[in-house]
Structure 1
Amino acid sequence: MSIHEKVSSILEKQIHAELESAYLYLSFADYYEDRGLKGYANWYTIQVKEELDHAMAIRRYLLDNDFKPTMETIAKPEMSFEDDLAPLKAGLAHEEYVTELINQCYLAAHEVHDIRAMKMLDWFITEQGEEETNARDMITNYELFGRDPKGLFELDREYQARSYTQLTALPM
């Protein structure tokens, strides 16, 4: 059974959104690197890798279902930040946006009764919940402790300890 056109089309767009996310988060990492906050830069560098993993997982799903995705141009992120909290808030807003995109993918699969796509997207729905929680926690931590230089130093050290775990396959 080949993948429904409605599902392949929206998943192809999701690949693009995941790649845009990686590009955006790389700009956040660069902002923090420039500020000397290597832990925050590390956090967002790992986010870049995770977003690339997400794009590749969806690509693999499409390829495994006899659909060859087309890669589109990724626009340059056009953001500037007035302080160290701004990228964190932009990150949460972006994760909420991606959650809505994933929800739309799920609804498209549901509409055409594509159970395999729905099952694959279940992982992304859970992942987005975690991403939003992490983004909110980073904002809360910064607001509570990051305005003090010692607190910011401690948070930065904490984020520097984060390590990347490659997504080898979607758990299904």
Structure 2
Amino acid sequence: MDEKQTYTVSIYTENNIGVLNRISAIFQRRHINLESVNVSKSEIKSVSRITLLVQVTEDQIKKIIGQLEKQVEVIKAYYHTDEATIYQESCLFKLSTDLLTENDEIQKVINSSKSRVININKDFFVLEKSGTKEEVEELYHLLDKYGIKQFIRSGRIAITRDEMRVSELLKGN
């Protein structure tokens, strides 16, 4: 039996109402959790790209890609291993401004984590970090002891190491 592993799924779609719902239903019917979801415009005019992160077997992901491509709005779907992609997540932390003025350690955490302050006022400051899920989680654990006021993390964004010829595919249609 195949072993589960993490796959990044890239789905090129028409930008129609309800397409994300129909795509997520394919995973829901199979009791597969979507670990992250990101939707944006793609490199192709009027085509959206949905990027999903899932943990499944290779056999499962092949069947899912087949189901996805049967959807009317789906132009093309791909799956990739972590090794085949360059990926990042972004996150924002809201912390008390007092930490910057009263705690030398917080500046060391900011510098060592390669994060940056993007907003500051008298009550709070906002710290931004981009990196792998592990880097984001490590920073979360470092900052947690200082009292995080708010935290948000994006879904995975990924670009393949190899060329994806979806543009040429569309020109042929």
Fold in common (TM above 0.5): no
Larger radius of gyration: 2
Relative to its length, the structure with more strand (as a share) is 2
* TM-score, structure 2 as length reference: 0.27
Relative to its length, the structure with more helix (as a share) is 1
Q: Which has the higher contact order (CA 8 A, sep 6+)?
A: 1
